[in-house]
Amino acid sequence: MEFTCIMCPVGCHLTVTKTKNEIIVKGNACPRGEIFGKSEATNPTRMVTSVMPYKNKTVSVKTSNPIPKAKIKEVLFEIKNAPPIKNAKLGQVVVKNVAKTGENVIITGINV
């Protein structure tokens, strides 16, 4: 498997090989690249960001932590169909346990 590391601005080209007993990462310039390569090969995750309506404005939202990549569409569907926000505050949870990931969707900004 081949990936471009996204853990720092360098963008190392990683080659990841899975054997019976281990995962070997080559091409990383730092330890974070090895961690990223192993994670991408076994359980890729991503932060999800979006916006939600709030009065005549929008609020920026994101997942509280990275979620499994396979759940992104489900997370976005739940964000789109969430109940209206009544009083927006930074850090407020607007969707709990989104897509049964154990993570919440929180407000990160109120756009005026």
**Cα 47 to Cα 69: distance, rounded to the nearest angstrom:** 9
Enumerate domains of the chain plus CATH numbers: 2-42 (no CATH), 49-111 (3.10.530)
The single-letter code of the amino acid at 70 is A
pTM of the model as a whole: 0.80
Q: What strands lie across the sheet with 105-111, from one edge to the other?
A: 49-54, 57-63, 105-111, 93-95
Dig out the tokens for 19 from the structure: 């054997």
pLDDT one-digit tens code per residue, 13-64: 999 999 989 999 999 999 999 999 999 999 999 999 999 999 888 999 999 9
pLDDT of the residue at 112: 62
CA 21 to chain centre: 28
Would you give the end-to-end CA distance of the chain in angstroms? 44
